Structure 1
């Protein structure tokens, strides 16, 4: 397991779903993130620093994960109470192994961040140009997991795309593309850009991004998800957790720099020139779908979710088609008027 960060760590802790705190004690909640704490997690850090989890009677412990897709199966496998991972990966797991599958309670990314990064001056100009190419990515990468849906929507013969799975760093994968050793790299747009920025390389100048949201706009991205056991045993704690996360997002949108300062204190590898742009890109694109002005960040459009489920079930040949209620519940969201809304200047940003 990766680095664990808890502002109120206690000795002898157990899984929150198996323990009821004594009066006056905080309920420990173990959450698996998609990576180590970084800019896009700033709202978690701000909520932690300002005591919103503690005020709700929660001792939230964040563990560093190894990708948004791998979060989903690891939650039940490793005894986490929940996590922050990719909704497409959740749909796939529910279609393959529905028993004890986590449920999304707050969808932060109302636009998918998934992409294929290719050389800006290279031969790949359109999605169809991916045929006959070698695209690298991590072993369990959310963009690889959802690629069948992207390929189906773009008329791409997925069998003609060679996927090279590697445990090397995202920086190396992206550099391989820039250096001509690979034709493309799967990942999150801002993760790829940040990985190169850490080595003072301008990813926007060297790469163009074939973004999934352009072909499959119904797909959602990262979501806070909790286990059925936690929801069953601690419904009030689940509601309080979501409310604290929502408050963290509201205040991050209002003061991103304060959120970054909170992240700096919790993230050992924090770098302003990397994490600052990464957070702003997340706020201005992945958390800024127009529907969020109407329903708030955290909620989903039922029609979009149903279409996403059907698209992934068909393209990935899932043995069963999950029901929407297996994937998401809005029962734990704060009232509509209290939900975060996208920044006024945000919208359909362009990474091309």
Structure 2
């Protein structure tokens, strides 16, 4: 009898494993912010800093180096801001949790934001800075296994977290790749990414949804070289129009505090500029702020973010943070059709460049290179 994860969950039947991605967005409810504020301002009186609670896609780690550097060097406080970072549980889950739990904003997946804008437009945050101009979404499969191309996913079991950005965007990937989505069994599990990835290496499942560098880092934390054992079917090769992580704020915060929003984006942009200029200093900032910092994990993750997710050629033209309007419209159209969304959200309800710094001041992509301390990224 097959007691592997693959065997157990295949026997349950595809109908039990597959569900509409929209059904995994938690029901939203109006809940007040936990910050002690008056109209969004700290109750300390004139001159007090504006409090901003941001939900991240995970606890602070290498890919958040620019946030850490901006925090450590006082760019938020100098701008009159008191920014609190709260670690989350995935780039897709950030988006519905912002309005549900009363955050002022967050750092999460733009594809998930597009879906929420279609499903619950009145409660949806708005992206004000798109950090990942290339999507990191992927499916990791065994390098020596039978899956060589997207079509080979049919009849296989692919694992991932309950609200995983790669699962949420999978319908668009499948449609563009000519994959029959109904023939792919999706195993949603709350187990760690390291365990999900190990299951693939051990043959207990056929693949794992996630971010490329997150999967690699999870295995590195257990002393396993993920690049040696896994092949990655990267979404950017099939749906290159998709963007990745973005800084987003609630419409209420943008209405009440446009100057604070502009100052926040400027400080984040400065953090990115200086992270690109001095990755070692940025990594030291992560080390100072991240309780679970590990040099051999966080260094490569940070460099992967800088050299891949923030390195799309269009950023040399418009800067990191901005988007190409035609590309965003295509992303929205692809996701709306593939995910059978009830409406096609307007691009302006998903992203605004109103709060970006001038083009001349925006961060530009890092040339692809190795770095002595942080390590090279293949």
- TM > 0.5: yes
Q: Distance in 2 between matches of 1:310 and 1:227?
A: 23
Q: Deviations over 1:205-252 (max 9, x none)?
A: 000000000000000000000000000000000000000000000000
Q: Contact (CA 8 Å) 1:288, 1:342: kept in 2 or not?
A: yes
Please tell me whether residue 55 in structure 1 is matched to residue 88 in structure 2: no
Partner residue in 2 for 1:214: 237
| Distance verdict in 2 for CA 1:16–1:120, change over 3 Å | farther
1:14 paired residue among 28, 33, 36: 36
Q: Check conservation: 2:172, 2:335, Cα contact below 8 A.
A: yes
* 1:304-343 equivalence runs, <5 A: 304-343=327-366
Q: Which residue of 2 aligns with 1:88?
A: 111
Deviation readout 1:35-66 (Å, 9 max, x if unpaired): 00000000000000000000000010000100
Distance 1:16 1:294, change over 3 A: farther
Q: Unaligned regions of 5+ residues in structure 2, if any?
A: 1-33, 370-376
Displacement of 1:97 after TM fit?
1.1
| Equivalent residue in structure 2 for 1:270, among 265, 290, 293 | 293
Map of 1:41 onto structure 2? 64
Question: Following superposition of structure 1 onto structure 2, how do residues 290-301 of structure 1 map, counting pairs within 5 Å?
Answer: 290-301=313-324
Supply the RMSD in Å over aligned alpha carbons: 1.5
Q: Secondary structure at the match of 2:331?
A: helix
Partner of 2:11: none
CA distance 1:332–1:222, change in 2 (3 Å): same
Alpha-carbon distance in structure 2 between the residues aligned to 1:311 and 1:182: 28
1:248 aligns with 2:271: yes
Query: Are the counterparts in 2 of residues 135 and 184 from structure 1 also a CA contact under 8 Å?
Result: yes
Higher Rg: 2
- 1:169-224 CA-to-partner distances (Å, cap 9, x unmatched) read 00000000000000000000000000000011000000000000000000000000
**How far 1:272 sits from its partner (Å)?**
0.4
Task: Give the direction of change, closer, same or farther, for the CA distance of 1:282–1:26 in structure 2 (3 Å limit).
Answer: same
Runs of 4+ with deviation above 4 angstroms: none
Question: What's 1:134 paired with?
Answer: 157
Asked whether the equivalents of residues 16 and 28 of structure 1 are also in contact (C-alpha less than 8 Å), the reply is no
Q: Which residue of 1 aligns with 2:143?
A: 120
Q: 2:228 pairs with 194, 205, 209, which one?
A: 205
Structure 1 runs not aligned, ≥5 long: 1-11
The match for 1:65 among 63, 67, 88 is: 88
TM-score where L is the length of structure 2 = 0.88
TM-score, normalising length: structure 1: 0.94
Across the two proteins, how many residue pairs are aligned to each other? 338
**Distance in 2 separating the partners of 1:303 and 1:178:** 39
Q: Is the 8 A contact 1:15 1:80 kept in 2?
A: no
Q: Is the 8 A contact 2:241 2:328 kept in 1?
A: yes
* Counterpart Cα distance in 2 of 1:200 and 1:185: 18
* Aligned residue among 97, 100, 103 for 2:120: 97
